[in-house]
């Protein structure tokens, strides 16, 4: 598996501001992912972050709103920009780690964001 940490664990922010979420993993990984989980809902992939290249965004998510950095193989950040109440959600990072014959995905503890 993997030991993954996120900072902050939660935050309350005012609309129009930005928040940067950090994700740290205990070993080098090639792929890191960022998800959003709205209350009572499933997980929606925002983007895939590969070290040394631009993040790949899913439909409905854009770089200007959710800029991502991936400076090395153990760390990534997701910024939620110009926030509105609709951005209130849990944001989770995840990583792929080698499992039994293929890669398995493990999640960080999440960042609970409330926008007022």
Partner 1 sequence: GENVEQHPSTLSVQEGDSAVIKCTYSDSASNYFPWYKQELGKRPQLIIDIRSNVGEKKDQRIAVTLNKTAKHFSLHITETQPEDSAVYFCAATPMGGYSTLTFGKGTMLLVSP
- Token duo for residue 69: 């950095």
Specify the stretch interacting with partner 1 by CB under 8 A; choose among 18-26, 43-51, 61-69, 72-80. 43-51
Specify the stretch interacting with partner 1 by CB under 8 A; choose among 13-21, 40-48, 62-70, 75-83. 40-48
| 106 makes contact with partner 1 (CB under 8 A) | yes
- Token duo for residue 25: 């993993």
| 52 makes contact with partner 1 (CB under 8 A) | no
For residues 3 and 94, give the distance between their C-alpha atoms in angstroms, rounded to a whole number. Answer: 10
Residue 11 CA, chain-centre distance (Å), reads 15
The least CB distance from residue 16 to partner 1, in Å, is 28
The least CB distance from residue 82 to partner 1, in Å, is 27
The least CB distance from residue 98 to partner 1, in Å, is 10
| 61 makes contact with partner 1 (CB under 8 A) | no
Q: Which residues fall within 8 angstroms of residue 59, CB to CB, at 6 or more apart?
A: none
For residues 49 and 64, give the distance between their C-alpha atoms in angstroms, rounded to a whole number. Answer: 15
For the CA atoms of 22, 35, 73, 96, what is the dihedral angle to 10 degrees? 140
The residues binding partner 1 (CB under 8 A) are: 1, 30-31, 33, 41-45, 48, 92, 96, 99, 101-110
């Amino acid at each position: 598996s993997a030991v993954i940490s996120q900072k902050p664990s939660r935050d309350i922010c005012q609309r129009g501001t930005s928040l940067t979420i950090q994700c740290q993993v205990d070993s080098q990984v090639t792929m890191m992912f960022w998800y959003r989980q709205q209350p009572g809902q499933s997980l929606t992939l925002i983007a895939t972050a590969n070290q040394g290249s631009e993040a790949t965004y899913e439909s409905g998510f854009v770089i200007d709103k959710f800029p991502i950095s991936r400076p090395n193989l153990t760390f990534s950040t997701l910024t939620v920009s110009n926030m509105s109440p609709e951005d209130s959600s849990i944001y989770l990072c995840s990583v792929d780690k080698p499992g039994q014959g293929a890669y398995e995905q493990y999640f960080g503890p999440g960042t609970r964001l409330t926008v007022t």
